[in-house]
């Protein structure tokens, strides 16, 4: 009797265990998915695809230029061939990002389906993703007008702090990041003695992911020891990055 049990035990040990993939499939087949959850599943996969595509382009954008396009530039002297190769590579990379993003989104959605409270989790994820996408596309509408104006005036003041003849490139970059959200090249435009005296609002407008702040600026310019006061109308455009608004550019009216 003991020999038979030992033999059975050995046979059971030799039976291959199901992989994680098979276990997930088994759970999904066993579970009855309602029409509501099926629709939620599609919405979740779509929103996840958008998020993954955005992340994919953020990762591949600078990486491809730095490690592929720039090294190829000195190697290929013919400009038309270089453009053809870079265009082909760009198309391939875009297709790969879309395909991998959709595949990964479906995998995540399938994995969530195996959870006990999958429908509630999917609804919550959909709401969170809608909020994230909406904030990315319409960031200014999530903040009060007073906050946006206050932020704009603060950034404009910091931009005038960049006008310093004695600033090094490193010091300039530190201040420029607070204004533009990124590094800027220190040009002769900033090698002037300019001081902000007064700032008066003219108009304010939200435009999708950005907002426009039109103001009358009184500034003092010192040239060769001579001080001159002038008032100009500027239209400043601000964009959202990591929950803060930075200066995207300006034009003079």
The dihedral sign for the CA sequence 164, 168, 169, 174: negative
In the predicted model, is pLDDT for residue 151 greater than 90? Answer: yes
How far is it, in rounded angstroms, from Cα 56 to Cα 102? 11
Task: Output the furthest CA–CA distance in the chain (Å, rounded).
Answer: 110
pLDDT band at 72, cuts 50/70/90? confident
- pTM for this predicted structure: 0.65
Average pLDDT for residues 144-163, to the nearest whole number? Answer: 91
Q: Of 196, 185, 193, which is closest to residue 166 (Cα–Cα)?
A: 193
How far is it, in rounded angstroms, from Cα 238 to Cα 241? 10
* Predicted pLDDT of residue 150: 94
Q: Of 239, 245, 152, which is closest to residue 199 (Cα–Cα)?
A: 152
* Predicted pLDDT of residue 200: 92
* Predicted pLDDT of residue 30: 47
Using DSSP's 3-state secondary structure scheme, residue 37 falls into helix
Question: In the structure encoding, which two tokens stand for residue 1, read together?
Answer: 């009797």
Cα-Cα end-to-end distance for the chain: 99
The percent of residues in the chain predicted with pLDDT above 90, rounded, is 20
Answer yes or no: are the C-beta atoms of 184 and 165 closer than 8 Å.
no
What domains, with CATH codes, occur in the chain?
18-137 (no CATH), 141-252 (3.10.450.540)
In the predicted model, is pLDDT for residue 75 greater than 70? Answer: yes
In the predicted model, is pLDDT for residue 71 greater than 70? Answer: yes
240 vs 183, residue with greater confidence: 240
Answer yes or no: are the C-beta atoms of 209 and 140 closer than 8 Å.
yes
Q: Of 236, 234, 235, 196, which is closest to residue 218 (Cα–Cα)?
A: 196
Tally of CB atoms within 10 A around 40 = 22
* Predicted pLDDT of residue 143: 93
């Amino acid at each position: 009797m003991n020999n038979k049990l030992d033999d059975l035990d050995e046979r059971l040990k030799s039976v291959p265990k199901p992989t994680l993939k098979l276990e997930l499939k088994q759970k999904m087949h066993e579970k009855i998915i309602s029409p509501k959850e099926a629709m939620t599943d599609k919405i979740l996969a779509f929103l996840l695809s958008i998020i993954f595509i955005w992340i994919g382009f953020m990762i591949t954008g600078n990486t491809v230029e730095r490690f592929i396009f720039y090294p190829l530039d000195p190697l290929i002297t013919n400009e038309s061939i270089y453009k053809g190769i870079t265009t082909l590579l760009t198309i391939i990379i875009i297709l790969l990002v879309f395909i991998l993003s959709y595949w990964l989104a479906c995998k995540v959605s399938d994995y969530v389906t195996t959870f006990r409270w999958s429908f509630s989790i999917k609804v919550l994820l959909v709401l969170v993703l809608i909020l994230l996408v909406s904030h990315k596309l319409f960031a200014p509408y999530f903040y009060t007008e007073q906050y946006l104006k206050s932020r704009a005036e603060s950034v404009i003041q910091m931009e005038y702090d960049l006008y310093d003849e004695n600033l090094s490139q490193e010091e300039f970059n530190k201040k420029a990041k607070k204004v533009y959200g990124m590094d800027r090249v220190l040009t002769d435009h900033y090698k002037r003695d300019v001081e902000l005296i007064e700032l008066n609002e003219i108009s304010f407008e939200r435009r999708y992911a950005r907002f426009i702040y039109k103001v009358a600026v009184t500034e003092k310019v010192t040239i060769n020891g001579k001080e001159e006061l002038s008032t100009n109308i500027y239209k400043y455009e601000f964009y959202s990055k990591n929950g803060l608004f930075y200066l995207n550019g300006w034009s003079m009216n």
